[in-house]
Amino acid sequence: MTTLCWIQTGACGGDSLAILSAQSPSFEQLLANNGIELLWHPSLSHRPMRHHDELLERIENGEQRLDILCIEGSIVTAPRGTGLYDSYRGRAKMALVRNLAARAGVVVAMGTCAAFGGVHAAPPNPSDCTGLQFDRTQPGGLLDAEWRSQRDLPVVNVAGCPAHPHAMTQTLACLAAGLPLQLDELNRPVMHFSTVVHQGCTRNEYHEYDIEEHQPGGRACLFFNLGCQGPLTQAVCNSDLWNGVGSKTRAGVPCFGCTSPDFPHDNDLFRTEKIGEVPLRLPLGVERPRYMAYKNLARAAAPARVREKKMEP
Ligand code: SF4
C-alpha cells in the first residue's frame, strides 16, 4: 500500500472540493486502483482527532511510513517568523509541515497557495505567507530551493486556484505507481502544465482576428479588454474541461492566470492593462513589435462571418 496524508494549512479548502469532482480517475478510483491508503484527510476522514494526533506523532517518530504528503494552503509564517497565526494544539503548522516533509517519500503542493503562496501571499501579505518551496516567483519558501524528499524529488507543484481535479488525481496516480514525473522549471508536472488555457478555448477565432469584447457576456475574446490571461497561463482548463463540460472562458469569465507563481496580480482581474492599444502582457513567446504589426492587420482581415457571429444572440 502507498500511504497518503493530506494536511491543510492557510487554505479555503477549494482543492479538497475540486478533487471530489475528478472523473478520470475519480478520487475513489485513485485510492482503490492504485493501492493508496488514505491515512488522513481533514474533510474526508471520520476518525476522532485523537487518531489524527497519534498518526502525526507516529509519522514524525518514523513509526508510520508516509509515502505521499499533500499540503493544501499557504504556509503562514507570521508573527515574526513563528508561524503561530496558523497553529494546531498550540504548535505552528509551519513546524509540523517541515517535520512531516522530512519523513515523506514525496511532497505534493495541492494548489497555488501551497506551491507559491497564492492569494494569501499577495501584497501586502499581512500573515507573511509563502509557498512550500517557492515564495511567489522566487525559489525557496518554507523549504529551501535545494530541498529534496526521500524519493529525491522537489515539492511537486500542482498549481491552480483551485488545482485542476485531474492534475491532482493523475499526478497522485503516477507517484503511487512509481512512474517518472517530468517537472517544469516551477516544479509543476509537465503533462498538466505544458499547454496554455488559450488552447481549446471556444473564443480562439475571435482572438486571432482581434475581435474584442468590452463587456462580460459576449462571444468574442476576453484578452484585449477584460483581463483574460489564457494565452500566457499554463493549464489544461480548456483541453480537459472541468466536470467534463466547462471552463472559466466557456462561462464568459476571463482566465485569471491562477496556475502562475505571481497569481493573483495586484490589479483589476477584469481589465487588461495596456500600453496604448496593446496589452502589457502578451501571449507566451510573442514579441511586442511583431504583435503590434500583426494586430493592425488581423482586425482588418476578419471575415464577415466572424464579425457577424459576434452579433448573433
Ligand atoms: S478568451 Fe482568453 S483563452 Fe479564450 S481565446 Fe480569448 S485570450 Fe484565449
Q: pLDDT at residue 299 above 90?
A: no
Locate the domains of the chain by residue range: 2-189, 195-313
Q: How far is the CA of 154 from the centre of ligand 1 (A)?
A: 32
As given in the structure block, the three cell numbers for residue 257 are 492566470
pLDDT digits (tens, 9 = 90+) for 135-152: 999 999 999 999 999 999
The topology under which CATH files domain 2-189 is Rossmann fold (3.40.50)
How much distance in Å is there from the Cα of 61 to the middle of ligand 1?
A: 50
Say if 2-189 and 195-313 have the same CATH topology.
no
CA angle 137, 286, 229 (to 5 degrees): 55
Q: 236-243 — which CB contacts under 8 Å span 24+ positions?
A: 236/164, 236/166, 236/167, 236/192, 236/195, 237/164, 237/197, 238/197, 238/198, 238/199, 238/200, 238/201, 238/202, 239/195, 239/199, 239/200, 240/164, 240/166, 242/21, 242/164, 242/165, 243/21, 243/23
> Cα dist. 73→12, 13, 41 in Å?
7, 8, 13
Query: pLDDT band at residue 278, thresholds of 50, 70 and 90?
Result: confident
Q: Is the minimum distance from the CB of 230 to ligand 1 under 6 angstroms?
A: yes
* Higher pLDDT among residues 276 and 50, named by residue: 50
Query: pTM for the complete prediction?
Result: 0.94
**pLDDT for 133:** 98
Asked if the model's pLDDT at residue 296 lies above 80, the reply is no
Q: What is the pLDDT of residues 93-102, one digit of tens each?
A: 999 999 999 9
User: pLDDT, tens digit, for every residue of 193-216?
Assistant: 999 999 999 999 999 998 888 888
The C-alpha atoms of residue 67 and residue 186 are separated, in whole angstroms, by: 22
In ligand 1, the atom with minimum distance to the C-alpha of 228 is 2
Kindly state if the Cβ of 226 falls inside 6 Å of ligand 1.
no
pLDDT at residue 311 is higher than 60: no
For a ligand 1 pocket test, name from 196, 197, 203, 291 the mutation site with the most ligand atoms within 8 angstroms of its C-beta. 203
CATH topology of domain 195-313: Cytochrome-c3 Hydrogenase; Chain A, domain 2 (4.10.480)
Name the average pLDDT for the chain: 94
